[in-house]
Structure 1
């Protein structure tokens, strides 16, 4: 499953219809005293209410092909029941300019769905361009509905494509991944006239926000999570880390230029399984090799001794939120310093120690931590890893051409990596400033791939790592630290990082 732009997904031609939720006639919003999550509040405050394209660079979504005939009324009912099931999709705010936005919720029975046929837009490129414009202009944390659906009916094959676009306030990257099979199952139930599956795992995102804000309120400047963050920030002058090569190599302002984007498969399934076997023999998992290769490539390509970034983690602390739609993401800091010792076993253990220590920050909402530390910075460099096999029926998602989507970004200094252990190998997606030469990123990804392959070598890594660095004259000494074991990471549901955290 790639994490790509909509323009990189070839939507097959067909009849386009937009679908949006609405309140039934005579229904009203009800005030709810549960707060919004910390990151939700921050997201709202950073949105300009006068912006005519509030979703530009901010929306996220999912696209896939439904393996069933299209029926407009069945789909309308599917979309209605989906909104009714998830309280987060039936939530908005009363005022965006108050210090603490008030939550509004409508009843599940008050949800309706309206279809808007789009005549004349039937070609692949035209559909992509139209949908991009609609998502940019209609999706906002300040105006409900915060989710927009689209279907493309393919008359020649009898099936249809489904797009789910949402403001980040009601969807995170894990939600993007699981919504494919949820909507497929729901549509089949509606079309077949059978019972719709109920589950205690569709928990309220508002209840999660209440838990998260209580956790945030308990933080102090002297508690261990905040102290852990303080030590991390002290290492970068009180600011969040950046992908330094993209900053130092950047040209002038390029805020109106879309960021460069790369999405590709780096390792075949056969190669990847060899890597998994090699690291398993050392007592670690694939994520260790992934972060190790990033650290090696950062040093090998650019000469930096430390790889410092934020790592998004899914924060669904209870099974009741396992299948919820909402924003359940926290971030923790990682600081991997390359050392002269090339022994792979000691490197694995030392990095695993770093990741274990980061657990102390897993339940501390990062937005509140930064407030306590008087840090007004924002995330600029993030790395995320997902093993797709944690998702149910992940191979079916592949057959449905399931892709998670991110809006095109215009940032001049943000770099994010999404790395996925997919059904067919190792896939990586990244976005970076338009001013950063693509050839430099290609060199980094080449070294990352090469470092990954080194783990599959039969000889010990200590005998092969020197060769890894011979092509990088900027590096004066070779070292490697491996990072990212899922055992060492916070005990959370793995999830790819959102485009905006």
Structure 2
């Protein structure tokens, strides 16, 4: 799987059909979904509230998390429709409605049998460019404040079909996309072959949300569980670690975005870097994190790397195969001073991650609201924030079929006041997807940092130095 902008994805022309998720007569009165009554996670509360406030002020902002994959041969549209419906019924969060309730944000699922799909013909799109443009507009049309929060469809051809789906971030995170691709493709293959689908057990995202809210309902700013964040803030000078290089941004302004995919290392190069990381008693993503910190320093950044790092909270149980927003975000910091060498820097990364994991249970949004209330009312991060994300697509559900399926993940946001990097690995190597503010300075900074990062990793892999 690649995480790639939809604009950089090659999808052949074909006949486009879409499926609308609709409530059945048994699940709603006059086609209206029932009001929500259950707990939402802290991530969802923040995301929904920002979308609501933006709507009230006509301050437009949109984003999506989407996926595409290929079915070879002539498609069985009935089996595909049944597979899509199976997945919506399987993952509770996709059937949820959201709304305000008693000053909070609430959600509640429709029962599995209370939803169905309704097919609609879009027509024939005669070029890859028109397909890409259509999919981008389709995905961005999914609205945080409107049900449903998933859209699905297919580009049908005689000898192959591209399946596509998009979700609002409210019900999806980075791992939800490969989970959805795996589930849809697996169920379709079973149904088209006359077999019963066989998928692992999934958990309740609402159950996860209720437990999170219960555990942290009484937390206040004096709670000892916030000491890790407080120490970080004292050294950093703020709750958020600033991106340390010039992006040419005006304070308080949001910019249109650039969304790019860059190859960093080949499969052989990635394996060589991984081997060097093991010699330093680390893992590949630790070496990548070290390389990012060193590269920032080489480009004019500080001798100490400070950043935010998303962490998956699914674990190895039923949540491992569950769609939802199971991501926490935590601060990480370590020295990247020039004289300490690769082994010393890797040791610092390892210690920093160990310390981070000891405090992984405190929800980012809860810490934000308690420790940086002056920023919490803002609709975005207050300035360009240093952010590091890594995902190994070889270890997600369905990974061994990704090449056959031509599996792709697509993320996008309309505006930003900073820069974010999502690093990912697959069988072909190591890649970086970037979304950043469209300014001349940001384009120069991102390009220079990318070149320095590649050179730094190559030096690590082949010379044992930065």
TM-score, structure 1 normalization: 0.84
1:394/1:423 contact within 8 Å kept: no
- Give 1:257-296 correspondences, 5 Å limit: 258-296=256-294
- Give 1:22-421 correspondences, 5 Å limit: 22-28=22-28, 29=33, 33-48=37-52, 50=55, 57-93=62-98, 95-96=99-100, 98-137=102-141, 139-155=142-158, 158-200=159-201, 202-217=202-217, 219-247=219-247, 249-250=248-249, 255=254, 258-317=256-315, 319-375=317-373, 376-377=375-376, 378-379=380-381, 380-411=385-416, 413-421=417-425
Unaligned runs of 5+ in 2: none
| Distance across 1 between alignment mates of 2:244 and 2:343 | 28
Report the Cα offset of residue 393 of structure 1. 4.2
RMSD (Å) for aligned C-alpha atoms = 2.4
**SS class of match (1:130):** helix
CA deviation profile, 1:23-47 (whole Å, cap 9, x unmatched): 1124225566530111101111001
CA deviation profile, 1:142-183 (whole Å, cap 9, x unmatched): 21110001100012xx22001110011111110112221211
Equivalent position of 2:7 in the other structure: 7
| Distance across 2 between alignment mates of 1:67 and 1:215 | 47
| Distance across 1 between alignment mates of 2:198 and 2:38 | 27
1:215/1:363 contact within 8 Å kept: no
Unaligned runs of 5+ in 1: 466-501
Looking at secondary structure, tell me which structure has more strand per residue.
2
Report the Cα offset of residue 429 of structure 1. 1.2
- Give 1:384-463 correspondences, 5 Å limit: 384-411=389-416, 413-435=417-439, 436-458=441-463, 460-461=464-465
1:45/1:97 contact within 8 Å kept: no
2:257/2:438 contact within 8 Å kept: yes
| Distance across 2 between alignment mates of 1:13 and 1:433 | 31
Report the Cα offset of residue 20 of structure 1. 1.8
2:282/2:350 contact within 8 Å kept: no
| Distance across 2 between alignment mates of 1:79 and 1:408 | 25
**SS class of match (2:337):** coil
| Distance across 1 between alignment mates of 2:4 and 2:413 | 9
Q: Which stretch shows the higher mean deviation, 377-386 or 366-375?
A: 377-386
2:69/2:163 contact within 8 Å kept: yes
CA deviation profile, 1:113-157 (whole Å, cap 9, x unmatched): 0111112434222222222223223x12221110001100012xx
| Distance across 2 between alignment mates of 1:47 and 1:270 | 43
1:306/1:338 contact within 8 Å kept: yes
TM-score, structure 2 normalization: 0.90
CA deviation profile, 1:199-226 (whole Å, cap 9, x unmatched): 32x1111111112212322534334431
CA deviation profile, 1:389-445 (whole Å, cap 9, x unmatched): 22244242133221110124311x221111112211111111111113423211111
1:395/1:423 contact within 8 Å kept: no
**SS class of match (1:399):** helix
Q: How many pairs were matched up? A: 453
| Distance across 1 between alignment mates of 2:393 and 2:460 | 21
| Distance across 2 between alignment mates of 1:455 and 1:237 | 31
**SS class of match (2:206):** helix
